[in-house]
Amino acid sequence: MTDRAPHGENVYARILELIEPLNTKKVALTQATTFAGDMEMDSLTVMDLVASMEDEWDIMIPLNMLPDLETIGQVADAVAGLVAKKG
């Protein structure tokens, strides 16, 4: 996991908030928690989460990026990077 800038920590915290209602298995959420393995999210639920993050930060997450984003920490880093590029 890379060190995050202060805004990156805010992104991580907000992503946890966005995931919580979708966390039907009530898995403990950490940077290493996986969407498919730990939370058993299906592709539709993942796309709902992606749409929520895109709306939250007014960004576009490229679909070709999604297969590489397996953990909450990876998603937070990617979103923080997209937000930084936008800013």
pTM equals 0.88
Burial of 48 (0-12, 13-18, 19+ CB in 10 A): middle
CB-based contacts of 42, cutoff 8 Å, min separation 6: none
Band of residue 20 on the pLDDT scale cut at 50, 70, 90? very high
Q: 7 phi and psi, to 5 degrees?
A: -65, -25
The CATH number for 77's domain is 1.10.1200.10
If one counts the domains in the chain, the total is: 1
Domain span holding position 42: 6-86
Q: Is residue 61 situated within a structural domain?
A: yes
pLDDT tier at 7, thresholds 50, 70, 90: low
Of 43, 79, 2, 21, the C-alpha closest to 35 is 43
pLDDT tens profile 40-52: 999 999 999 999 9
